[in-house]
């Protein structure tokens, strides 16, 4: 089960996401489902079917977990290859 404490160790593809803050104003407010992820980007499919590629290091994401909990994550923290991020150990900061 995905929780705010272990989201880093889970697959992000399929989660609902929204860009809540970015120095690039054109990224703010983009929302939809994560359909792909690389080391440096997340691809989001918006409701209209448009796909947007967002650089991780330039934004703060708000992910909505399957149980409805909203979690904000600085993209710099998840700017690592998905397969490496899932295996990595994280120190608890909460």
Does 90 score more than 60 pLDDT? no
**8 A C-beta contact, residue 33 and residue 46:** no
With cut-offs at 50, 70 and 90, classify the pLDDT of residue 89.
Answer: low
Q: To the nearest whole number, what is the mean pLDDT of the chain?
A: 90
Per the model's pLDDT, the better-predicted residue between 87 and 39 turns out to be 39
Residue 86, SS3 per DSSP: helix
Residue 61 burial (CB count, 10 A): 26
Per the model's pLDDT, the better-predicted residue between 27 and 87 turns out to be 27
Q: What is the predicted pLDDT for the residue at 55? A: 96
For range 21-28, the mean pLDDT: 94
Q: What does the block give as tokens for 5?
A: 């404490």
The predicted model scores a pTM of 0.86
Domains of the chain (ranges plus CATH)?
7-87 (2.30.30.210)
Q: Which DSSP state fits 7?
A: G
Owner of token pair 């904000």: 72
For range 34-43, the mean pLDDT: 96
Q: Which of 30, 31, 19, 33 is closest to 75 using CA atoms? A: 19
């Amino acid at each position: 089960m995905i929780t705010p404490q272990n989201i880093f160790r889970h697959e992000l593809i399929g989660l609902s996401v929204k860009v809540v803050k970015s120095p690039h104003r054109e990224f703010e407010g983009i929302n939809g489902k994560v359909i792909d992820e690389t080391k440096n980007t997340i691809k989001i499919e918006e409701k209209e079917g448009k796909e947007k590629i967002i650089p991780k290091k330039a934004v703060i994401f708000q992910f909505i977990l399957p149980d409805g909990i909203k979690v904000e994550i600085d993209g710099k923290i998840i700017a690592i290859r998905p397969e490496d991020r899932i295996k990595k150990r994280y120190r608890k900061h909460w």
